[in-house]
Amino acid sequence: MLRDITLGQYYQTESVIHRLDPRVKLVGTICYIISLFVVNNVWGYLVAALFLALMIHLSNVPFKFMVKGMKAIVFLLLITVIFNMFLTPGEALISFWKLTITKEGLRLAIMMAIRLSFLIVGSSVMTLTTTPNNLTDGMEKLMNPLRKIKVPVHEIAMMMSIALRFIPILLEETDKIMKAQIARGADFESGNIIKKAKAMVPLLVPLFISAFRRANDLAMAMEARCYRGGDGRTKMKPLVYKKADRIGYLVLSIYFIVCLSIGKICEILMGMILGIMMSVG
Amino acid sequence: MSLILDHVNHIYGEDTNLAVAALRDINLVIPDGQFIGLIGHTGSGKSTLVQHLNGLLQPTSGSIYFNGQDISDKDFNKKELRSKVGLVFQYPEHQLFEVTVFQDVCFGPKNLGLSQKDVEIRAYNALKQAGVKEEQFYQSPFDLSGGQKRRVAIAGVLAMQPEVLILDEPTAGLDPKGRDEILGQIKKLQKETGITVILVSHSMEDVAEYVDRIIVMNKGAVMFDDVPKEVFKHYEALEEIGLAAPQVTYIVNRLKKEGVPVDTNVTTIAEAKDAILKVFKEGFSPC
């Protein structure tokens, strides 16, 4: 029942994307997200979609898994679309009662929907192909320069990795407690919102207790192994860039440049075609 | 009142590349009033199996019948099934949440929609049956010891007054004394009320004394299904799948091998003692 959440879940398989250095994937995801929000024309989105499709294809992860992550944001997506559609001022398209759908609004709504869904699927590609440990390793390495200005980079990365590590554990625990309470006749599905909220108490109390117990155990285990923060700590498998990673960065820069300039290129091309047609005509 | 499993299969993560067949072609009949031990190594599918029995998991293929009704039918009343088939999970103390022990045990019957009075009567009886002391009734369940918490959690399921009680490793993490107490209590309960009990365990030693029938699971399939004496005869096969027969089985078999005419058909320490003493009474002398 709770297995539908794929954000932050790793999908074990063998692929080029899986083998990439986590730093490449992190930078790539950030670039991709930036590109989504900078681009404002159809051609750019087309390039973004093609790039995403290529990455999904290369990652060997079934497309189903990517879409599963979307389920969690369907609601958010709907709200965004509706608000944008009705509340953007501009040329009226359809209007009924007190609501008006404007042309600008529709455009903005579609754009936001595309941005959000690409964003989720794009970051799913990263989380599905990178183990949480690798991901936080990459993050630590990327943020390393910040240590000069006294940012506790290692601690942040460690907290991240523990938090990510706990997601599946707590999900499993939730599943277990939920089943145990259902076995005692609990009903989590029916009833109005207040009843549903009340029904969560038998689930949340044991869950919190178990989370604290686990946190306590983990802290003890870390201390018992002499963990004392990042200073002087070495890695068993330090991250090293390989040839594939350099190619990855190259592909990424090409994508970034193409994606941002394609609007201009198309404009110029269209202009040229139009010009030629005009002169011919 | 019986449970019938007909060619039940269950596959976890069916459409991923991590698909695991947890149950393979399980066929079982569980009649009324039996005390059954469900034994298997970690990962043999026993927990998966018991979750099918009260409809928490659906079989990937095959059917389960409760009193002649298919429980995966759309119009089947799952809630009623769950009140009739009580399932006590592993480490059930992790499900406690109420302010007092008594209120926690009330949770189950309350969900059945009973009147306040009936709920309290059931909770009181269940706590008594599980062997919780009265002075603990109004304590916070989180202040109790591990063994006590577990009794409260078992009482929480007993209060539903199930016809079939399933306990998934009820003795995990308990000391030998706590283990014997809980198992003794369950046996007593089963004798008094005549309910069906399914005891899931990975230890033969635990169940040998109490059960009428043992079902051995291995890699998701039923390997043996018989009375304890018969199952323990296969102690060598059991060892191969990482289980072991009770220690007395080894002792008597070893004695037999060394030429002592002892009856190897024993399962408990008491029976073994009698069998060995009998040999000496009949005038056997070593050397």
Q: What is the CA radius of gyration of chain B?
A: 21
- Count of other CB atoms within 10 angstroms of residue B156: 32
Which residue of chain B comes nearest to A60, CA vs CA? B17
Phi and psi dihedrals of B268, rounded to 5?
-110, 165
Q: Is B38 on the interface with A (CB under 8 A)?
A: no
Shortest Cα distance, chain B CAs vs residue A119, angstroms? 24
- Give the rounded percent of residues in chain A with a pLDDT score beyond 90: 20
Is the Cβ–Cβ distance between B222 and B249 less than 8 Å? no
- CB-CB: which of B16, B51, B111 is closest to A184? B111
Which residue of chain A comes nearest to B142, CA vs CA? A209
Q: Is A67 on the interface with B (CB under 8 A)?
A: no
CB contact under 8 A, A182 and B156: no
Digit-coded pLDDT (tens) for A30-64: 999 999 888 878 888 888 899 999 998 888 888 88
Q: How far apart are CA B10 and CA A125, in angstroms?
A: 30
Tell me the pTM. 0.72
Is the Cβ–Cβ distance between A88 and A108 less than 8 Å? yes
CB contact under 8 A, A184 and B107: yes
What token pair was written down for B193? Answer: 């009320």
Residue B276, C-beta contacts closer than 8 angstroms, at least 6 positions apart: B252, B255, B262
Question: Which DSSP symbol is given to A227?
Answer: -
Digit-coded pLDDT (tens) for B9-67: 998 877 666 678 889 899 999 998 899 999 988 888 888 999 999 888 889 889 999 88
Question: Quick one: how far is CA A40 from the chain centroid?
Answer: 21
Q: Which of B95, B103, B111, B160 to mutate to test the interface with A (most CBs of A within 10 A)?
A: B95
CB contact under 8 A, B51 and A179: yes
What token pair was written down for A126? Answer: 């990263």
Q: How far apart are CA A216 and CA A225, in angstroms?
A: 14
| Residue in the block written with tokens 């595309």 | A114
The pLDDT, as a whole number, for residue B40 is 87
The pLDDT, as a whole number, for residue B286 is 64
Q: How far apart are CA B149 and CA B155, in angstroms?
A: 10
The parts of chain B modelled with pLDDT lower than 70 are 1, 15-18, 286-287
Q: Is A128 on the interface with B (CB under 8 A)?
A: no
CB contact under 8 A, A183 and B107: no
- CB-CB: which of A65, A179, A206 is closest to B96? A206
Is the Cβ–Cβ distance between A171 and A211 less than 8 Å? no
- CATH code of B3-228, in short, is 3.40.50.300
Q: Is A202 on the interface with B (CB under 8 A)?
A: yes
Question: Which DSSP symbol is given to B57?
Answer: S
The pLDDT, as a whole number, for residue A267 is 79
Q: Is A90 on the interface with B (CB under 8 A)?
A: no
Query: Please, which pLDDT band fits residue A208 given cuts at 50, 70 and 90?
Result: very high
CB contact under 8 A, A13 and B17: yes
Digit-coded pLDDT (tens) for A216-252: 999 999 999 988 877 778 888 888 888 989 999 999 8
Of the candidates B112, B108, B146, the residue with the CA atom closest to the CA atom of residue B126: B108
CB contact under 8 A, A184 and B160: yes
Query: Please, which pLDDT band fits residue A7 given cuts at 50, 70 and 90?
Result: very low
The pLDDT, as a whole number, for residue B252 is 86
- Count of other CB atoms within 10 angstroms of residue B258: 9
> Which H or E element spans position B161?
none
Residue B218, C-beta contacts closer than 8 angstroms, at least 6 positions apart: B40, B41, B44, B241
- CB-CB: which of A173, A177, A179 is closest to B56? A179
The pLDDT, as a whole number, for residue A195 is 84
Boundaries of every domain in chain B: 3-228, 246-287
Residues of A in contact with B142 (CB under 8 A): 209
**Where are the strands (E) in chain B, listed by range?**
3-12, 20-30, 35-40, 61-66, 69-70, 85-88, 164-168, 196-201, 213-218, 221-226
Shortest Cα distance, chain B CAs vs residue A127, angstroms? 17
The pLDDT, as a whole number, for residue B12 is 84
**What distances in angstroms separate CA B4 from CA A48, A228, B72, B224, one per listed residue?**
55, 57, 13, 17
What token pair was written down for B37? Answer: 């031990």
Query: Please, which pLDDT band fits residue A1 given cuts at 50, 70 and 90?
Result: very low
Tell me the count of A-B CB pairs closer than 8 A. Answer: 66
CB contact under 8 A, A202 and B97: yes
Is the Cβ–Cβ distance between B256 and B270 less than 8 Å? no
Residues of B in contact with A13 (CB under 8 A): 17
Residue B154, C-beta contacts closer than 8 angstroms, at least 6 positions apart: B88, B92, B130, B167, B170, B182
Q: How far apart are CA B251 and CA B243, in angstroms?
A: 17
The pLDDT, as a whole number, for residue A107 is 84
The pLDDT, as a whole number, for residue B17 is 66
Shortest Cα distance, chain A CAs vs residue B51, angstroms? 9
The pLDDT, as a whole number, for residue A33 is 92
